[in-house]
Each structure stands twice: as C-alpha cells, then as structure tokens.
Amino acid sequence: MSHSTAVLGAGALGLTAALRLAQRGDRVTVIEREPLPGGLASGFELQPGVWLEKFYHHLFRSDRRAIGMIDELDLGDRLVWKQPVTATLRDGVLHQLDSPRSLLGFSPLPISDRIRMGAALAGLKAMPDPRLLEGGTAAEWTRRWMGERAYDVVWEPLLRGKFGDAAPEIAMPWFWARVHDRTQSLGYLRGGFQQLYDRLAQRIRETGGETRFGMSVTSVRPDNGSLLVETEDGSERFDRVISTFAPRLTARLVPDLPAAWRDRHDWGRAYGAHCAILALDRPLTSAYWLNVNDPGFPFMALVEHTNYLPAADYGGRHLVYLGNYRPMDDPLMSAPLDTVLDDFLPHLARLNPAFDRSWVTDAWVFAAPFAQPIVTVDYRDHIPPFRTPIPNLWVANMFQVYPHDRGQNYSIALAERVVAAMGDAS
C-alpha cells in the first residue's frame, strides 16, 4: 500500500530517506526550513555560478555510502581525491601531522612519545570495532597509551576545541571511530557538495516526491492514526513522518512524546558550528587543514580550501575557513561579521607574519545550531531508536551515528537503515 510520508529536514539524511521511500512508491513530501537543500553540508553562491560550503567539507575513502550516492546521481566524475597537508600549530610553528612519517618528525614530542603515539594509533586502526573501549574516555585512553605529553600537545586541544569543557568526558569509542574511519586521502566534489543535494532533491521530484523549501515545521501531532504536520502555511495530514532533526528539536515540536521518552532522549548537549570565511588575494598558509593547538586563538581550526582545490576555481580568490564549535547561546554565534573579523584577523599574523588586513577582499560568516553532539561516556544510553512511542512517527538523525563522528556518509547510511526498518514495520 502506498503511504503518504513527510520527511522533516532536507539534509543528507532527509533527502536520502525521501528518495528511497519515493523509489518504493511512497507519496513523499520533504519539508525544509532553509531555502536550499543540504543542511549542514549546504553551500552558498560565492560569486555567480561558483558555490562553496558554509562549513568546510570533504570525504574520506571510507565514506562508501556517500561515494555510492555521488555515483548514483552521476556526479562521480566531479569527485576528486588528494592528500593535502594537515598540520598542527604548536608554539607558533606549523607541524605537518597527517601520516606515520610526519608523526615521526613531529618535534613538539620527544621521539619516544612519537613512537608510542604511532603504535597506539595503529592499534586503533586495526581494531575492528570499539566494543572493548565502551565505558572509557578518550582522555584516559590517550593519556595511558600515548602518554601525558601527547595528550597535552595533540589530543587535549583537539577535544577541547570540539567539545569545550566536556573534553575530559568524551567517550573512547568516538575517538576510535575518528581514528579508524579517517584516511589520508580526502575527497571533494569539485563545484561544491551543494550539487549533490540539488541533484538528490531533483531525483526525488522526478520519482514523484515533493520538496518544499523555505518552510519551517512548527509542530507534529498524532490525530486519529495519522499525523498532523504544522508549518507556517497551515497543517497537513500524513500517514507517517520521519523527523531528521536533533532529538531535542523533535522533542520540542512533538508535545505528545511521553515523559519516559523525553527523560531518556531529550538529553545531553550539542554545540553549534561557527565559521568565518575569508577570500584573500594571496595564500595564507601552506596547509589545507590546521589544528590550532596554541592557546589564545579565537578559532580552533583553519581550513585553507584553496590549498586543496586551485584558487583558479574561485576566480583566483584564496579561501580560508576559521572554524569553531561553541555553545548555541555563545555570543560569537550571533556576532556580526565585522565584530568577528576584528576579533579573528589580528591572530592571522601569528600564522603568517606578513599577513595584512588588506589581503582580505571579501568575508562571510555562518553559524548553525545542533551541529556537534557532545558524545560523553553515557551518550550511548540516550540515543533514541528509530521508532517512537507515537505510532508512525520515526526519528532518524545524526545524533544516532555514534560512535562515528557525524558526517554525510553516516547520515546517508542511516537513512537507508530507517527506510528498511519502516518497510519491515508496514
């Protein structure tokens, strides 16, 4: 029997789920608040016809589901693979740190610690699953197996940059996944990942589905066996709903979710993501990715996109992201561009002493809520199942991809799983 299904959210997860449901013959409607599909991976038009992600994005070789989707949508010829330089800033110096060989030359640590860290990382890479690590923290594990200095110099700044004060409580299986899933070779969809999401939305429509962008969902309520989805434009009845929002957001929008569900799943913290993007008239650093491990910087990562793709792809502009994860009510998240630039730009001379503000020809700033779940040791117990206590209301979201770090690949894979589970249930 053909169901009418509303898919809430047009990120990687919602779009993939909608396509698969449409391919199974469902009458699918995707509802998205933003004017464009793509969610956290969406882009903006940097200059006419030239797109860039609001937040830096690439793929790893292990991202098989995302690569498969790119091929399925006939975009495979635009997927490029490179091994750009990843580095760590320590004591004012950029140290390349992206391979066993560069680790051996990583002078902020004594050679014995470099060898120890290399062995521990190799052990995590070889470990097929993280079951044995469950219950432990990344801080304890890295201190124990890599040593205090490796923790202080490399891992503590990374954990703190991503998770703030929760750094010492982050679950070890998440750290395992981060090491295990990553490859030196990084992929990028030349022309921007927005193409993937535009193409997905187009494929949904060609398969009979409907996409509504620029429309916010304000509530979902059960009503006589079906579900009423309310937006600013009114309410509409569906047989089934999949919410791809963060559990906390779904909890807010669905007042009928029972207390027991809320107690367990409306739980934990998430950070927002913040990126300032600079267009420069010349290169800034020699690295693609720079973990900013020195204290006192107002950003935790610097991603020089045009040290991956040539600046010629962007009309000769050199593009640099200055990224942060912050609590969603942090003043930075809503600060105007000029304030952000006044705060950030003076620090660039610490990375390149020749830097001058006149190099900046353009700048943008983006912030997004619910961008990084804070994966503390007890996180796992609070992950919601796909099925909710409300009949025909399903939840599938990037908060469920633990222990993996959230990423397009895992949202795409999760979408396939929730659709399979819905098929089994009908």
Ligand X SMILES: Cc1cc2nc3c(=O)[nH]c(=O)nc-3n(C[C@H](O)[C@H](O)[C@H](O)COP(=O)(O)OP(=O)(O)OC[C@H]3O[C@@H](n4cnc5c(N)ncnc54)[C@H](O)[C@@H]3O)c2cc1C
Nearer to ligand X, 89 or 200 (CB): 200
Smallest distance, Å, CB 105 to ligand X?
26
Helix (H, G, I), strand (E, B) or coil at 75: coil
For the purposes of burial, counting CB atoms within 10 Å of the CB of 73, is it exposed (0-12), middle (13-18) or buried (19 or more)?
middle
Nearer to ligand X, 376 or 400 (CB): 400
Using the Cα atoms of residue 356, residue 357, residue 360 and residue 361 in order, give the sign of their dihedral: negative
CA distances for 73 relative to 12, 38, 68, 197, 229, angstroms: 13, 15, 9, 10, 30
Q: Per CB under 6 A, which region of 29-37, 219-227, 288-296, 312-320 contacts ligand X?
A: 29-37
Q: Are strands 270-280 and 360-373 parallel, antiparallel or unpaired?
A: antiparallel
With CB under 6 A as the contact rule, the residue among 19, 21, 31, 153 that binds ligand X is 31
Nearer to ligand X, 109 or 242 (CB): 242
Closest-CA residue to 406 (of 120, 133, 181): 181
Q: Are 351 and 286 in contact, with CB atoms under 8 Å apart?
A: no
Contact characters 234-273, ligand X, x per CB under 6 A: ----------xx---x-----------------------x
187 touches ligand X by CB under 6 A? no
Query: Is the preceding peptide bond at 403 cis, omega within 30 degrees of 0?
Result: yes
Q: Per CB under 6 A, which region of 28-36, 88-96, 132-140, 341-349 contacts ligand X?
A: 28-36
With CB under 6 A as the contact rule, the residue among 7, 18, 40, 120 that binds ligand X is 40
With CB under 6 A as the contact rule, the residue among 6, 26, 29, 39 that binds ligand X is 39
With CB under 6 A as the contact rule, the residue among 291, 306, 376, 408 that binds ligand X is 408
Smallest distance, Å, CB 302 to ligand X?
13
Query: For residues 80 and 25, what is the distance between their CA atoms, to the nearest angstrom?
Result: 34
Please, which of residues 55-114 interact with ligand X by CB under 6 A?
55-59
Give the interface size with ligand X as a residue count (CB under 6 A). 34
Helix (H, G, I), strand (E, B) or coil at 140: helix
For the purposes of burial, counting CB atoms within 10 Å of the CB of 335, is it exposed (0-12), middle (13-18) or buried (19 or more)?
middle
With CB under 6 A as the contact rule, the residue among 12, 158, 280, 363 that binds ligand X is 12
Residues forming a β-bridge with 1: none
Please, which of residues 296-355 interact with ligand X by CB under 6 A?
323
Query: For residues 380 and 376, what is the distance between their CA atoms, to the nearest angstrom?
Result: 8
With CB under 6 A as the contact rule, the residue among 217, 251, 280, 322 that binds ligand X is 217
Contacting positions for ligand X (CB under 6 A): 8-14, 31-34, 39-41, 55-59, 216-217, 244-245, 249, 273, 323, 371, 397-398, 406-409, 411
